[in-house]
Amino acid sequence: MSDVAAGRFVCKPRRIQNEPPELKRAVGELTARIEEAFPALPNARWVALRLLDGDEHIIQAMRQGELGELRAARPDEATPAGLSRAEGAR
């Protein structure tokens, strides 16, 4: 999970066809707020979608400020505590 948020793992998610306007608006507003709070985070839209989905790991990482520690980094760099590389495959 942290690898996706940090941009170290690039996934090819299916795009929502005919995205409802309410969802598009919510994702856009949340993405902007995430980018403001964590400007170095390369994948704020993915984080916004995970928050809207109720992902407890992402919620906890935001509360503890760990998202601010994530950035596009080399794969051999340490991952913040509580966010294992195995969770990135989720």
pLDDT tens column, 23-80? 999 999 999 999 998 888 888 998 999 999 999 999 998 888 888 776 544 344 444 4
Which long-range CB contacts under 8 A does 31-40 form with residues at least 24 apart? 34/67, 37/67, 37/68, 38/67, 38/68, 38/70, 40/68, 40/70, 40/71
**What is the model's pTM?**
0.61
